[in-house]
Amino acid sequence: NEYKKGNTPNPDVMCNREVKFGVFWDFAKANGADYIATGHYAQISRRSDIWKGKAIDKTYEKYKEIFLLKKSPDSSKDQVYFLWTLTQDDLSHTIFPIGHLKKTEIRKLALKYNLPTATKKDSQGVCFLGPLDMKDFLKHYIKTQKGDVLNENGEVVGFHDGAMFLTLGERHGFTITNKTNKSEPLYVTSKNIGENTIIVSSRKGIKDISNGKEVRCINANWIESIPKKGKMYTAQIRYHGELFPCKIEVQEESKAKIIFKKDVLVDKGQSVVIYDGNNCLGGCVTA
């Protein structure tokens, strides 16, 4: 449904919220478990002195200690980006047994204990789709419709199979018909779902393309504390993407405004994950 609207949701975030920390935990709890353990590359730490000498935030006053969601030491495998919807209740009954290790160390341990997955290739893509590509999966539910690719001057330079399949900043998924050997890589800078068209541009690379410094978000979730007004944090708008310095204005009804230090390019429906150093503060969805 989100893709049909032209948005770019993150299925891994939704899977963690609804399945791994939703129905999986419900099943485990119903069968007598006190905790669930997952293989995420992430860490949980506790702070029992969190309120010492501080005014208690009413949102968290029922907790005697606060659980912090922290990045993995293996930056190439860190999965905290996908866990921004977790809550204090989630973290209180969750264990990440490999979160403090690097993937190379995990493989050595797997070989030591003769685990059959010791030399298995890393999984790619959306886990619950298996070998199927996301766009191939979506085509079972969303009808493909050929549309025009336009340049910044409004001229038709190619075609695509549906604007809703593409994301701002993407450089694949469309065909340029008048390509030359000197052609620069082109990126999606705008989408018109109603007219089924996209605009592409090189601008000498994606870093020169943006849709401004301010991004409004919905469905905000703050794990350990509500962001402080005026404080500088970092935000990630894509998995393993650049960390952008930003400030946050928390608004009512789980809404927030992210004010970036420099221009960013972000599509509707994307997850914006906020960090305070190595701690994941939470996140929100671009509106």
Q: How many residues does the chain have?
A: 287
Dist CA 243 CA 231 (whole Å): 16
Tell me the backbone φ, ψ of residue 218, rounded to 5 degrees.
-125, 180
DSSP code string of 218-238: EEEEESSSPPPTT--EEEESS
Amino acid at 238: R
Look up 217 and say whether it is catalytic: no
Contacts of residue 259, Cβ cutoff 8 Å, sequence gap at least 6: 213, 214, 246, 247, 248, 249
**Catalytic residue of the set 15, 217, 246, 284:** 15
Look up 127 and say whether it is catalytic: yes
Tell me the two tokens of residue 195.
């007219």
Return left, alpha or beta for 30; rule: phi > 0 is left, psi -120 to 50 is alpha, else beta: alpha
Tell me the two tokens of residue 224.
């350990």
**Catalytic residue of the set 127, 217, 280, 284:** 127
Coil, strand or helix at 255: strand
Q: Nearest CA to 90 among 224, 190, 215?
A: 224
Contact between 174 and 192 under an 8 Å Cβ cutoff? The reply is no
Q: Nearest CA to 199 among 268, 145, 152?
A: 152
For the chain, the distance separating the N- and C-terminal CA atoms, rounded to the nearest angstrom, is: 15
User: Which active-site residues does the annotation give?
Assistant: 15, 127
